[in-house]
Chain A
Amino acid sequence: MKRTLAACALALAMLARPAAAATDIDFFFPVPVQGKLSNEMQRLITAFNASHPDINVTAVFAGSYDDTNLKTRAAIQAGRPPAVAIESANFVREYVITNDAIPLDDLIAKDGTTPAAFMENFWPALRGNAMDGTHVYGVPFQNSTPILYYNEAAFREVGLDPDHPPATWQEWVDAAKKLTKRDGNTVTRYGLEMVTTYDTLGWLVSAFTMSNGGQYYNPGYGGEVYYNDPTTIGAVQFLDDLVHKHKVMPEGVTDPNAVGNAFFTGRAAMIVNSTGALSFVRENMKQPFRVAFVPRAMVNAVAIGGGSLIIPRGNSPERQKAAWELIKYLTSPEVAGGWSRFTGYFAPNMHAYELPAMKEFLAKNPDAKVAIDQLAYARGWFATYNTVAVRKALEDQVQAVLSGRIKAPEAMANAQKAADEILRPYVDRTAMKLPE
């Protein structure tokens, strides 16, 4: 039916303007949360094509965020860039550094607004990753923060008040100790579990570091990270203590599936996971659960995660124009709100929350409201030159700490050394390039 409609619309458009052919563009998108999102994305694009007869978008599933990055860069180098791609929000800086994404300022200006005014539509915490200086390079599409999920029944069982979840690290450790159940030497229920595989681990450590008063990385310059500083060492030491001192968290590396299943089956009483997993948890958790802010050390702080829309370099002005139409459609309050309700991500466009459908949804799902409230304390995501490698330099060391092979101070010294080495080429041609 939709296809017929689209065909009719297309035929009409052709009759009206016989000379103008539709602009064909490719749109690369990753599916980082759940597979069925892929079909929902195809549906959105079909609707877009039907309402824009002069543009024909092909939505291309491109794997994970890392795969999508690889595919986009390979396509740019091969001279066949997609017109639009969703990239992990913190990769945008690298696209700017390598000159592989175009600034969107001109397209914004054509709509009669300014980059600053345009970004006003989005949550403040998202703007850092989307902009470079005063120029807009990315438009936030799907975003998340880490959040604490907890099992209500388990809280009551050990005498904790589900209405007052732990708010500080001290309360967190105390609660986790009470919630941990032991049967002889084996733990039958862990007080706390969190995802400690690549990507999520770096994201969480950055949140804990910021909460511990730190910066973690230099938001204004892509060549500096602060791994070997007290704020980061303290955050990593905290994780080490949870595992080896308080013994409330399992040793080693735990992946998202393991964490999800531990929570669903009552083998973990609290978990830290992405707000992007909210819909998935809601569908699969049979016991009552609630969500809360990630507990704080000194200040509440979490890092933004998620994906932004970019226009890669190498597209003709005509394709850029079509790309911009698609970007505006995908980030409009209606579409962004619908995508948010479907996925569990929060909607980056603040105006989405003024729509009746969204108000109704939040009233019905107070957990989604907590994710929004936490945004007041959210900050930009770790972004540097060669982001993935610099992030892994830390993650490898933290995983070694979690496995009990090394202690935090030494691990962070190693991580810093490795990261500095990776950043050196960029530092040498920027901050260390001095007048002769």
Chain B
Amino acid sequence: MKHPVRMLVVCAAALIWLIPFAWMAVASLRPDVSGTEDLASLLPAGPFDFSNYREAWASGRFPLWYLNTTILCVGILIVQCVTVSLAGYAFARLRFRFRGTLFTLFLMQILLPPAVLVVPNLAMITRLGLYDTLPGVMAPYFASAFGVFLMRQTFLSLPRDFEDAAMIDGATRLQVIVHILLPLARPGLVAFAIVSVTSHWNEFLWPLMALNSPSHQVLTVGLASFTSAAESGGSWGVIAAGTALVAAPLLAAFVIFQRQFVASFVFTGLK
């Protein structure tokens, strides 16, 4: 409470951030909100029940979609952890020609809007025989420019003394990375994991392009398949309930691991 003004700003920001969630919660619990005067009401006015959730759950194959989305996010993350920490190490510690130029080129990937890459990526995964498979959806994300950047910065911020000591004792580079650097860089990896999982959990366009079989479908596309309504107007209650079902695992995870997450972001200076 040392800075009342700052506190006020933070509270206001939190409130603005909270509104969509509050609306989602209220709308999803009110049956038959379409066509009522107080459609956008934030104030909980009954009657409430779970009929929207029942309808949303029955409209789609949620267990399958949860499974596929989880496989997708975890699969991407596991490979990314290997690639970004090794590449981050290379850019942070190894000396080689054109290191600066290469790193700049690497970073430029962040500037490319993903929609531009849809066609070339699709052509590539088709050639690899991965069209309409989950590995096909994952493949373009196995390397991450953002992750490499983040890990490089994290490694650079660590003192070299431990590594030097280990090297003198005869440790190989891989041993140094796995046993010394990675444990120290854990907060950086956790921060990256959050960004990675949230973005792939929420991604719509690329899975829509790369997957066909209903049995490979993911949450976002599944949700759209029973809530999109361009020409008529939506059933808000069901849309809100479906959205809550999609967002719930991430929200729950965040609440459970909040302490670690906040610590990671403070450590890396990420916002």
Q: A-side interface residues toward B, CB under 8 Å?
A: 26, 31-36, 38-39, 42, 58-65, 67, 70-71, 73-75, 77-80, 82, 144, 199-200, 256-257, 259-261, 264-265, 273-274, 276-277, 279-281, 284-286, 344
Contact = CB atoms under 8 A, between A and B. Distances in A.
B231 A35 contact: no
Interface of B: 34-37, 39, 59, 118-119, 122-123, 125-126, 131-132, 205, 208-209, 212-214, 221, 224-236, 238
A389 to B, nearest CB: 15
A276 B229 CA distance: 11
A265 B35 contact: yes
A195 to B, nearest CB: 8
Contact of B225 (A32, A33, A35, A73): A35
B35 to A, nearest CB: 3
B228 A78 contact: no
A283 B247 CA distance: 29
Contacts of A58: 212-214
A280 B232 CA distance: 6
A35 B208 CA distance: 16
Given A35-B227, A74-B122, A276-B231, A284 B212 contact: no
Contacts, number: 121
B113 to A, nearest CB: 14
Contact of B35 (A67, A199, A264): A264
A258 to B, nearest CB: 8
Given A63-B224, A80-B126, A261-B39, A256 B231 contact: yes
Given A35-B225, A70-B118, A277-B231, A79 B59 contact: no
B228 A63 contact: yes
B35 A284 contact: yes
B230 to A, nearest CB: 5
Contact of B233 (A65, A73, A260): A260
B123 A78 contact: yes
Given A79-B123, A80-B131, A286 B35 contact: yes
B213 to A, nearest CB: 6
Contacts of B132: 80
A274 B231 CA distance: 7
A435 B123 CA distance: 39
Contact of A257 (B205, B212, B224, B233): B233
B234 A257 contact: yes
Nearest to B32: A284
Nearest to A60: B212
B233 A261 contact: yes
B258 to A, nearest CB: 34
Given A264-B35, A284-B35, A277 B233 contact: yes
Nearest to A199: B230
A274 B227 CA distance: 18
Nearest to B115: A70
A334 to B, nearest CB: 24
A74 B206 CA distance: 11
B123 A284 contact: no
B244 to A, nearest CB: 16
B126 A79 contact: yes
Contacts of A60: 212-214
Contacts of A42: 214
A36 B221 CA distance: 14
